[in-house]
Chains A and B, each alone.
Chain A
Amino acid sequence: AQRVTQPEKLLSVFKGAPVELKCNYSYSGSPELFWYVQYSRQRLQLLLRHISRESIKGFTADLNKGETSFHLKKPFAQEEDSAMYYCALSRTGSARQLTFGSGTQLTVLP
């Protein structure tokens, strides 16, 4: 069975500080990993996916298959980054069937 673990329910950092949201997964095959974000009163939306290897809004995430992790990082947090972040997994080629972690609420303090 596949599982996604986000160990921190809440995370607070000061503006300009680095931020790292942790995500660990268990999956027997070759997974696709995603980060979704939900800003206050907005819809859940894709932030980034590991196969794209993009940096979105200054965020990056590297898939570490040895540690089965996909941590989300940003070197300098901004107040507008405050949101709920979900890590998600799917089997390769099946981005429509996502297994989500429980989410981390990030608050960036002024």
Chain B
Amino acid sequence: KAGVTQTPRYLIKTRGQQVTLSCSPISGHRSVSWYQQTPGQGLQFLFEYFSETQRNKGNFPGRFSGRQFSNSRSEMNVSTLELGDSALYLCASGSGTGLEDTQYFGPGTRLTVL
């Protein structure tokens, strides 16, 4: 089985721009979660999508949004980029059901905001 893939792997943007990141889950997985990883704040949960619906949301401003398509692929969008948005963005996929659902992480997208 192919693992979780994320594209692009690296991005450089300037303040005020917007960016879209993509995540393709493991085949058959219906849940995709997004995390932001920074040296200062560590790993923080952004949101989770399941069957095209946002099911959980972390404590991030509305500039951070996402969506999920019918094939379970997910995109995350950040508008009006700020310097503090520079981070590694990880996505994870899972079945989305069951008590022992396991999260499989992708390699991440490294976003640098200049």
Contact = CB atoms under 8 A, between A and B. Distances in A.
A49 B104 CA distance: 14
B99 interface: yes
Interface string B40-79: 0011110010100001101000000000000000000000
Most buried by B among A46, A93, A97, A101: A97
A86 B106 CA distance: 16
A94 B103 CA distance: 11
Interface residues of A, number: 20
A49 to B, nearest CB: 7
A69 interface: no
A49 B94 CA distance: 15
B90 interface: yes
Given A44-B90, A51-B99, A96 B31 contact: yes
A89 to B, nearest CB: 11
Q: Is chain B's binding surface mostly helix, strand, loop or mixed?
A: strand
B42 A95 contact: no
A103 interface: yes
Nearest to B31: A96
B100 A86 contact: no
B105 A96 contact: no
A83 to B, nearest CB: 14
A57 interface: no
A98 B105 CA distance: 12
6 contacts: A43-B105, A51-B99, A96-B33, A96-B55, A96-B103, A98-B45
Q: Which 4 pairs between the two chains have the least Cβ-Cβ distance? A: A100-B43, A44-B105, A97-B56, A96-B48
Interface of B: 3-4, 31, 33, 35, 42-45, 48, 50, 55-56, 58, 90, 92, 94, 96, 99-107
